[in-house]
Amino acid sequence: MVRRTELARDRFYIRAKEEGFRARSAYKLKEIEAKFRIIKRGDTVIDLGAAPGGWSQVASELVGAHGVVISVDLQHIEPIEGVVTLRGDITDQESTIKLLKDALMVHGLHGRGNDSAAAAAVVLSDAAPKLSGNRAYDHYRSFELSKAALGIATALLKPGGNFVAKIFQGEYYRAFYNAVKDVFHDTRAYTPKASHKRSAEVFVIGKGFKALK
């Protein structure tokens, strides 16, 4: 757990305030982008577990005026220019996929044929459970969110698409990493400098979604 006083001294927190980002986590995505080149101009990006919207702000800057960012969270996300914000529970994969397909259709973003599946270039997930303080339990719940994000990515990414998902380290970390490795050509794990030192979080990055047979 990070205390308020620690946050106040935190250089990423201060920078986020100064630069107009809603969350210091924006700098985690910026570091990931600088290292792995995930998002291109004109891309359609899906951001899962997106509130309050720091990652969506960064993604929106990267895709530019010809791209689209569609964000989902359990909580309300205050409107962000260029971002479609939706409310949903990503562990209910079926409903989230339907919600996202409908949003893609509305924006005229079709994949193969007239289906809005396979329309997204990038799926991001910074989703995290409310921390209970029990590391094993928190890890398992984070694993469930990451697995759900991977299921949604598999349904909506076009071949060659990219994926980033946060997971807390623990027993099921390797299983999740291997599941990403199965469906992407290049899989890496990365912890940005902006992650709190005592945090167990790691980001699994999949590049080049394999075409489904």
Ligand X SMILES: C[S@@+](CC[C@H](N)C(=O)[O-])C[C@H]1O[C@@H](n2cnc3c(N)ncnc32)[C@H](O)[C@@H]1O
Query: Which residues are catalytically annotated?
Result: 166
* By the rule CB under 6 A, 2 interacts with ligand X: no
Stretch that binds ligand X, among 8-16, 36-44, 71-79, 107-115 (CB under 6 A): 71-79
51 binds ligand X (CB under 6 A): yes
Query: Is 23 an interacting residue with respect to ligand X (CB under 6 A)?
Result: yes
List the x/- string, 107-146, binding to ligand X by CB under 6 A: -------------------xxxx---------------x-
By the rule CB under 6 A, 16 interacts with ligand X: no
Asked if 54 interacts with ligand X (CB under 6 A), we say: yes
For residue 211, CA distances in Å to 77, 143, 176 come to 32, 24, 20
Please select the residue that binds ligand X; options are 69, 90, 149, 152, rule is CB under 6 A: 90
Q: Which is nearer to ligand X, 25 or 85 (CB)?
A: 25
Q: Does 25 bind ligand X (CB under 6 A)?
A: yes
| 89 lies in the binding site for ligand X (CB under 6 A) | yes
- Binding ligand X (rule: CB under 6 A), the pick from 12, 16, 26, 179 is 26
* Helix/strand/coil (H/E/C) assignment for every residue in the chain: CCCHHHHHHCHHHHHHHHHCCCCCCHHHHHHHHHHHCCCCCCCEEEEECCCCCHHHHHHHHHHCCCCEEEEEECCCCCCCCCEEEEECCCCCHHHHHHHHHHHHHHCCCCCCCCCCCCCEEEEEECCCCCCCCCHHHHHHHHHHHHHHHHHHHHHHEEEEEEEEEEEECCCCHHHHHHHHHHHEEEEEEECCCCCCCCCCEEEEEEEEECCCC
91 scored as a contact of ligand X (CB under 6 A): yes
Q: Among residues 43 and 73, whose Cβ is nearest to ligand X?
A: 73
Binding site for ligand X (CB under 6 A): 22-23, 25-26, 49-55, 72-75, 89-91, 126-129, 145
